[in-house]
Amino acid sequence: MKLRNAALLIFLLLVIDQYSKIYVKTNFILGEQVKVFNWFKLYFIENEGMAWGTVIPGEYGKLFLTLFRIIAVGVIAYWLWDSVKKRKNNFLIVAISLIFAGALGNIIDSVFYGVIFDDSTHRLATLFTDQPYGTLFHGKVVDMFYFPIIEDYVLPSWIPLWGGKEITFFNAIFNVADVAISTGVGILIVFNKRAFAHTSEPSNVTIAPWEGETHEEVSTPKE
């Protein structure tokens, strides 16, 4: 897979991710939800960018998280470039591209959303506002996809520990970037052998010509 093809995939995912986030951010109030189907809702929430809304405590917790993720994206970008250069398996290149696009998509929120949007708590947010809700590197990640396939189900009382409690499955709320990352990781897990398969590269072996014959090169694969 060529680098330009990987770049095109990343670009398309970033466009879809950012369009969906900006649409929700400017058309939903924080906490608002719209039922598409009984098992699928658009539910606008914001988080600090860690899984399940986890927050790093402290004054510089958010800044540390954002900077760490920027460094991680740089490492992933190098991994992608190196894999393309070495002509690694397409499964690996596609997986890395998905993970890179997803990570970069959420970093855009963390770095810039705090300075280009105003608060969404009580009214629709304004893009490129003069009253931003945060500062550079302190933006919040926008999530919106919610699939409560089983919602508010009460477990039978005879089940130890959890009996009588209400559960919702699936209760995570996520975005396009999260889907890209999860898909990329899934490819690496499911197609592990193909993704990391050794790729033999041709090498030129010069065969010495017999007297009176022309010089000839034969390409043989590396062992």
Enzyme catalytic residues: 143, 178
Q: How far apart are the first and last CA of the chain?
A: 23
The CA distance from 153 to 113, in Å, is: 36
Dihedrals phi, psi of 93, to nearest 5 degrees: -65, -40
Beta strands in 25-79 (DSSP E): 33-37, 40-47
Residue 69's CB is within 10 A of a number of other CB atoms, namely 18
Contacts of 101 (CB under 8 A, 6+ apart): 9, 10, 13, 14, 17, 177, 180
Q: What is the DSSP string of 111-125?
A: IIIHHHB---SSS--
The CA distance from 2 to 5, in Å, is: 5
The CA distance from 101 to 95, in Å, is: 10
